[in-house]
Copies of this chain bind each other. A is one copy, B any other.
Amino acid sequence: MTNLAQSPVWFTDRDEDQALSLRYTGDILFDETSDFQRVRVIDTYRYGKALLIDEMFMCTEQDEFHYHEMIVHPGMLAYPDIKHVLVIGGGDGGTVRELIKHPQIETITMVEIDQTVVEASRQHLPHIAQALNHPKLNLIIGDGITYVAQGEDQTYDLVIIDGSDPVGPSKGLFSAEFYGHCDRILKPKGLLITQAESPSFHRETFVELNQCLKGIFGPSQVKILLFPIPTYPSGLWSFQVAVKGGIDLVNPDRAIVETFTAKEKLQYYNYEIHQAAFALPNYVKTMVKE
């Protein structure tokens, strides 16, 4: 597949020492600067349309399935009694799209700070945003940190923190106060799943978050999930999961998982992947003292 006749324009997501560049058509399909950040959509040759926040890739059509399947299905299938879900962030809609696949869910409350992210996704990433009008969803544009701080005790079975890197509006999503409130608004058997960055690229944030969650939920109640995603720095990403009750996160009911995976035609997640995602490399075990 030779694209040499196509556009020579590249978008680069870089930190000081490392950069990933994707070639795109040259057209900016969406470009608005909100109170919080600049939001753009471009059309890349390798990964389809990409949502950009400031100078970073947020998600692409071709590889978002890794992230959105893994932020939802391991938790939902380990604890099938989940009925009431709170999502903080998740403005592109991918997390809600995956949640909707579990019919036992009765309500999803999603609190996204930036209406512009929702608009960009609705207009240009309809496959990702497809469930943002679902009748089970109560979409609130507002500050998730305040929402959680003001939330009633023991309200949710599952809280998902689907925020971006701990800069700008997402900074407060990486604090002990915030996770203390998450613990409080979760029901006694509730589950928390949070975006936890790359264990090799964001070592400090990854470890601090792990220590924070262990301090609140207890050391044995926190697990790390790893999965690949090509357009994020290092290509290896993580979620951290905290359980309040005695749920066995690693060993769900195999038959239920396999029926679900086949029915929903998932691209990444399956029973073996569920268990494999909890296996930690030695360097990660050392970082989190496990």
Contact = CB atoms under 8 A, between A and B. Distances in A.
Interface of A: 1-4, 10, 12, 14, 16-23, 44-46, 63, 66, 200-201, 226, 228-230, 233-236, 261, 265-270, 272-273, 275-283, 285
Contacts of A46: 17-18
A275 B270 contact: no
Contacts of A270: 279, 281-282, 285
11 contacts: A3-B17, A18-B46, A19-B19, A20-B21, A63-B200, A230-B234, A267-B281, A267-B282, A267-B283, A269-B282, A273-B282
Contact of A281 (B17, B233, B273, B279): B273
Contacts of A22: 17-19
Contact of A272 (B44, B229, B279): B279
A69 to B, nearest CB: 9
Given A230-B236, A267-B283, A276-B276, A16 B44 contact: no
Nearest to A283: B267
A237 to B, nearest CB: 9
A132 B200 CA distance: 29
Nearest to A286: B267
A46 B12 CA distance: 17
Given A19-B20, A268-B281, A273-B279, 19 more contacts: A1-B16, A10-B19, A16-B45, A17-B23, A17-B44, A18-B22, A19-B21, A200-B230, A228-B234, A230-B233, A230-B234, A235-B235, A267-B281, A267-B282, A267-B283, A268-B283, A273-B281, A275-B276, A276-B277
Q: Give the top 3 A-B pairs by smallest Cβ distance, nearest first.
A: A235-B235, A276-B276, A276-B279
Assembly stoichiometry (copies): 2
Nearest to A20: B20
Contacts of A278: 272
A76 to B, nearest CB: 17
Contacts of A281: 66, 267-270, 273
Nearest to A1: B16
Nearest to A3: B16
A94 B259 CA distance: 42
Given A234-B235, A279-B276, A281-B273, A14 B3 contact: no
Contacts of A230: 200-201, 233-236
A265 B235 CA distance: 24
A4 B18 contact: no
A63 B235 CA distance: 12
A284 B33 CA distance: 38
